[in-house]
Structure 1
């Protein structure tokens, strides 16, 4: 089984996005090492310390998954900063439509980032 280090960009106030994506990864053909921030172990410290810790998690990931919902990439959000940082590092980024909203952010199409359904086959195909 192939090992994949995955970072799921998420906000804990939308935990259902993280939980849906994580559940699909658990059923995937990959041996997944989740590099995401855990709710049981939130990052603490100064803004710079938290940002640096998140960058470290992104650096250790081979693929970044992000909810496709508009709130995930609002101007000034940590999600947007995570995606921009991952892009600057040449990371594979996949937006996942978890079905929790009726729309997806135009940001993904504007930045040529693939949006896939939150299904095992769709995510596996996108990861490659």
Structure 2
């Protein structure tokens, strides 16, 4: 199936979310180019420089995935900034319930963003 450029919005203090989503992508039918920030190559610079670099990664992605957990999109967080930027650019955004918490952020419903289970079939269907 075609190549998908994917950006996974995540916080490195919740690395298990990124790892679970990435592992499911690896098993999917898609040839995935992960545009996410790697822990081995973190962004450095001022907040503005880092934010602009992340926006560039989002711009290069066709699909934005994010953990559905509330901590991923708390008010004022980089995750919220990333998702709001992706919304403003008309990007396809999918919230993924990785099962690492029992709650899901209301932000997703408030912004009419689909929340899916962290499974291969769910991810493939949502990406399309």
Give TM-score scaled by structure 1 length. Answer: 0.99
Q: Which residue of structure 2 aligns with residue 3 of structure 1?
A: 3
Q: Which residue of structure 1 aligns with residue 13 of structure 2?
A: 13
User: Could you tell me how far 1:67 is from its partner in structure 2?
Assistant: 0.1
Q: Which residue of structure 2 aligns with residue 120 of structure 1?
A: 120
Partners of 2:107 and 2:55 lie apart in 1 by 21
Q: Name structure 2 gaps, 5 residues minimum.
A: none
Alignment of 1:19-98 (within 5 A): 19-98=19-98
Give TM-score scaled by structure 2 length. Answer: 0.99
User: Could you tell me how far 1:123 is from its partner in structure 2?
Assistant: 0.4
Count of residues in correspondence between the two structures: 128
Q: Name structure 1 gaps, 5 residues minimum.
A: none
Partners of 2:58 and 2:27 lie apart in 1 by 22
Partners of 1:6 and 1:57 lie apart in 2 by 9
Partners of 2:41 and 2:104 lie apart in 1 by 29
User: Could you tell me how far 1:101 is from its partner in structure 2?
Assistant: 0.1
Tell me how large the CA RMSD over aligned residues is.
0.4
SS in 2 for 1:103: coil
User: Could you tell me how far 1:110 is from its partner in structure 2?
Assistant: 0.8
User: Could you tell me how far 1:2 is from its partner in structure 2?
Assistant: 0.7
**Runs ≥4 residues deviating over 2 A:** none
User: Could you tell me how far 1:68 is from its partner in structure 2?
Assistant: 0.0
